[in-house]
Chains A and B, each alone.
Chain A
Amino acid sequence: MRHFVNQIVEALKKRSDLAGWTVRHVETRGAQVYAVPQGIESQRAVDGERYLIDVLRNTSTAEGSPAVGSGDASLLPGDDIEHAIDKATLVAGLVVNPVYGLTNPTPLPDILLCDADLQKDASNVMLHVMARMRAAAAKHSDVRLTAAECFGDVHNTHLVNSRGIDAEQEATRIDIEFVLHGQKGERESETFDAMTRRRVADLDIEAAIEERAQNTLDLLDVKAPASWQGPVVLRNDALTIFLAGDNLNGSVIQSLASAESKYAGVSSWEVGKDVFRGEVKGDSLTVWANRCLPFGTASARFDNEGLSAQRVELIHENELAAFAASQRYADYLQIPATGAFGNIELPSGKTPASELLSEPYVEIVQFSWFNPDTITGDFATEIRLGYLVQNGIRKPFKGGQLVGNYMDALANVRWSKETGFFGSYLGPHTVRFNELKIAGQDE
């Protein structure tokens, strides 16, 4: 439907009342498979297509100073182009903001974003992934796969703006989730796991089910923990959730290191200053926002404004090195535009992971929902499955709350030398928080 994009672009070029514009054509096609214990509950083939127009218009403040306003509109194929542009233009004329500009063309890197098999036949790939999940679960006679979902999508984006950007990208995305159920007499337990990746090759379904099967069995005989103050270990997926957040709640670092938060007054971080409010007792913190990571789930050649992918050092050895900034907030704060945040990356640590597991410690394997306040960093989050490891015994527990403050917690950690790739996070696969508090159920 390049023809329709061209029609929109031609219509926008004729408008003398606009200071700039961006058009995005987003096309999605995919397959979804859902399983219940009895078999396949549902199979869906899904496609969609839309055109998104953003316009910028010169306006003025009540005092007559220059300002800009933005407006947007979306179209389905064949919709009335002039009507949509009029609508966006009208809205842009109402809005009064400090002046900012659009993104200029820059070279776009090639980034690996696609699973070739999924591009060819999403439905078949998803049925195959579902079959692998069922086969992996079937190897464990003491747990059952009671629910599973597999989504595979191909996204094509074509972006054109008035500054001369004309860019395209194709990306694939796979979302899977599964539930394992265990039973011992009248006791029941379950574990849930979800993974998002760009390609099937990055999904180690068999290993994930192996681990969750053991977790499910461990959950059959658990109690709430006693209160604990001391070392807490996060690994792999639990660490990824801690650092990268999830699709409902972004991460604290992403929030506080964003130029938008700085501009709004909700981030007190300053470039060149320490991001911690107290003494740093553990390893220093260095963080990149990385949109170039091959097959990263938040990687992209360009973002919604057309800003090319970058790997931005946000925090260098505890000091804020840069804010992640869209073009708008970059202009407002007069800093470089870096574009959408992307994936989170940390350098490898200094300590072998095995040393981070020196007893005693608590390992949290799954939270109910790790959702710290992304402004204050405070958290009080229930533990879905943890282990108290001491005297050579790994004792599972469920319940209790991990309580603390996000940045205070990161000020006293040790990172593992070994690293891993977890879809939206690349970095040490193990962290040991030297002193965190669990509010448990004391007698």
Chain B
Amino acid sequence: MTDIKLPDAMAELRPALGEIVGLGLQRAPYFSALLSSRHGLTILVDDREERVTERPPAVGTVLSAFDGATNFERAMGGFNREEIQKASRDFLSGLTFQKYLVQAEPERRGDFVTPMQIDPLELSTQEKLDRCRELHRRAKGNDSRIVNVRVIYGERNEHSVFADANADLAQRVQRVNMFLVVIVAGADGDVRYDFASKSGSAGWEVLNWSDEEIQRLVDSALGLLSAERIEPGEYRIITTPGVSGTICHESFGHGVETDMFLKERARAAHFIDKVVGSSLVNIVDDPSQPGSYGSYFFDDEGHMAASTQIVENGVFRRGITDRYSAAALEIPRSANGRQQDYSRKTYARMSNTFFSAGTSTLEEMIAQVEHGIYLDKWSSGMEDPQGWGIQVTCHYGHEIKGGKITERVFAPIGITGYVPDVLQSITSVSNELQMDGGNCGKGHKEVVPVASGGPHLLMTARLG
């Protein structure tokens, strides 16, 4: 068994979960216990200051009693055995259960740890701070237009233990990310900036920056001082993997979370096994993808991580589920039941969601565009599962003219459109796959770590 090194209080409570679950099952058709510890660290180094702060910890226990109709939960801070046993008895004594249609999951047992070469928990804070300082030193150039360079390191240390009648699972998921931000000011006082990030479910080995990457970022930040606003209209566009991933995330990511089917909020519910995009479009959600920022081994409802093919050759196949919506809709589960932390409910949420790679090269794709826009970098997106509208904001993009990317830069650029129209317009998909880590809210709350990505895509969209 993997040496998982759970936090002491969690490790001490784990052996008692069998008894707590057993008592719960005497009353409830289904009963589970989740121990969840999420904490982390943020380091900021810039030209003027340094900060080392704990990520606000969320440490607690969730007891769930489910009868196929309503999910009753008691969530409490910490892992105190006596308090949890008492809370469990009090909680169960006040409940009345209605239906008894809870589908049992197969037996699941095991301990899992994110594979990594340089474990952040094995590095001292001094070593991490020094690495951030070193990157800051390398990125801080001599150009007088640079007013600040900021390095932001984040680590999320997640430990969880899950138990139900057929499960005894534990995992340690380690996520790291690092942002490099270059802030510049023009002669007129206008402030612009560009940023780049690296991330993964991994250790520090994924946070190395080459001199070329740093210089590219400085150059692009300075280039933004001459950025123009784009003339609104329909354009041929090529999206970088980050922008492709955001389109994927906002369209057939949020749009296929099956709790939204249940709430009649997802138009995709009417399109199962129907064409929703070009035959080049394949979309996958995969929490088991090694190294990606949104990965985990089992979800917050104890379902084992596995890949889900959402769109296959342009045809919508299935959504991603939490336990409640899968039971209510009578569809197979996928491992997408996730909580922001113990204090929040579980919803159907994405993990690593991406367009699969195609066969074209980027050079071939650019050569096909007589006049269009290369969308370099995304900054945000918002879903509209019922209306199938899309909003993706790009930090900037470059003009493509005569099959070549020019120096002319536009910022910011908004992409809007009707999801099937946008996906149907994809005519070329490049042969690489890159993932971007980030945080995802459901609407405006319930933030969880995810990744999205894909290859370069050539398509038509409305920009503004």
Taking Cβ atoms with an 8 Å cutoff, the residues of A that contact B are 28, 32, 34, 36-50, 69-74, 76-78, 90-91, 94-98, 144, 146-147, 175, 177, 179, 181, 188-190, 192, 194, 219, 227, 246-249, 263-268, 277, 368-369, 371, 373, 375-376, 378-382, 384, 398-401, 403, 437, 439-442
**Given the known A-B contacts A34-B345, A50-B77, are A72 and B387 also in contact in the complex, defined by CB atoms under 8 Å?**
no
Residue contact B74 to A44, C-beta cutoff 8 Å: yes
Residue contact B389 to A384, C-beta cutoff 8 Å: yes
Closest to B395 in A: A373
Least Cβ–Cβ distance between A323 and chain B, in angstroms:
15
Residue contact A382 to B414, C-beta cutoff 8 Å: yes
A71 to B50 CA separation, bound complex (whole angstroms): 11
Among the stretches B56-64, B135-143, B204-212, B452-460, the one at the interface with A is B56-64
Q: Which residues 43-77 of B have a CB within 8 angstroms of A?
A: 46-54, 56-60, 69-77
Least Cβ–Cβ distance between B6 and chain A, in angstroms:
15
A97 to B229 CA separation, bound complex (whole angstroms): 39
Residue contact B443 to A194, C-beta cutoff 8 Å: yes
Cβ of B121 < 8 Å from any Cβ of A?
no
Closest to A149 in B: B345
Give 17 pairs: A residue, B residue, CB < 8 Å, sorted on A.
A37-B263, A45-B74, A48-B342, A50-B57, A73-B54, A90-B125, A246-B444, A263-B48, A268-B189, A268-B191, A368-B391, A371-B380, A380-B464, A381-B391, A384-B387, A400-B464, A403-B414
**Chain B: how many interface residues by the 8 Å CB criterion?**
76
Residue contact A376 to B73, C-beta cutoff 8 Å: no
**Given the known A-B contacts A72-B54, A266-B183, are A39 and B191 also in contact in the complex, defined by CB atoms under 8 Å?**
no
Q: Which residues 397-439 of B have a CB within 8 angstroms of A?
A: 411-414, 416
A14 to B102 CA separation, bound complex (whole angstroms): 56
Interface majority SS (helix, strand, loop, mixed), chain A:
strand
Least Cβ–Cβ distance between A54 and chain B, in angstroms:
9
Chain B contacts for A97, CB-based, 8 A: 49-50
Residue contact A45 to B75, C-beta cutoff 8 Å: yes
Residue contact B382 to A369, C-beta cutoff 8 Å: yes
Cβ of B267 < 8 Å from any Cβ of A?
yes
A37 to B91 CA separation, bound complex (whole angstroms): 25
Residue contact A403 to B50, C-beta cutoff 8 Å: no
Chain B contacts for A46, CB-based, 8 A: 75-76, 343
**Given the known A-B contacts A44-B74, A177-B443, are A373 and B412 also in contact in the complex, defined by CB atoms under 8 Å?**
yes
A156 to B447 CA separation, bound complex (whole angstroms): 24
Residue contact A77 to B185, C-beta cutoff 8 Å: no
Residue contact B393 to A71, C-beta cutoff 8 Å: no
Residue contact A146 to B129, C-beta cutoff 8 Å: no
**Given the known A-B contacts A47-B76, A47-B77, are A146 and B443 also in contact in the complex, defined by CB atoms under 8 Å?**
no
Least Cβ–Cβ distance between B358 and chain A, in angstroms:
28
A181 to B411 CA separation, bound complex (whole angstroms): 36
A275 to B161 CA separation, bound complex (whole angstroms): 52
Closest to A222 in B: B387
Residue contact B384 to A95, C-beta cutoff 8 Å: no
Chain A contacts for B444, CB-based, 8 A: 194, 246-248, 369
